[in-house]
Amino acid sequence: MSTYTEAPNHLYKIGEKVKVIQTSPPGHRRTPAYIRGSVGIIERICGSYPNPEELAYGFDGLPKRVLYRVSFKQVDVWPNYTGPSKDRIEMEIFEHWLSPLE
């Protein structure tokens, strides 16, 4: 049984710049600490899925959350990065971890 559903009510669109929320709440979190506070670009809307942060504690994960693939410049995530400037990190991040870039 698939838990995927389309995400017609997504907040962000492909190509939009977003910032990963800088917070460190207790418990199970799917967003790596090293990416929090970074600015990236929405590359793909992956759909809606049960929230894995709630599933980890035996809850139903509802309401479903929109999942995005977000692309970040390596140098923006790792300031001492010495590889090519075009290198990027792509990761899938749930909507509740993102905020619009102001």
Query: Can you tell me the distance from the alpha carbon of 45 to that of 40, in angstroms, rounded to the nearest whole number?
Result: 14
Q: What confidence score (pLDDT) does residue 27 get?
A: 73
CA angle 94, 76, 12 (to 5 degrees): 30
User: Would you call 54 helix, strand, or coil by DSSP?
Assistant: helix
- Identity of residue 64: K
- pLDDT, tens only, 42-71: 999 999 999 988 998 999 999 999 999 999
Residues 6 or more apart from 61 whose CB is under 8 A from it?
A: 3, 49, 50, 51, 52, 54, 55
| Cα–Cα distance for residue pair 80/77, rounded to 1 Å | 9
pTM: 0.88
Tokens of 89: 């990190």
Three-state DSSP state, 56: coil
Q: What domains lie within the chain, and their CATH numbers?
A: 17-100 (2.30.30.50)
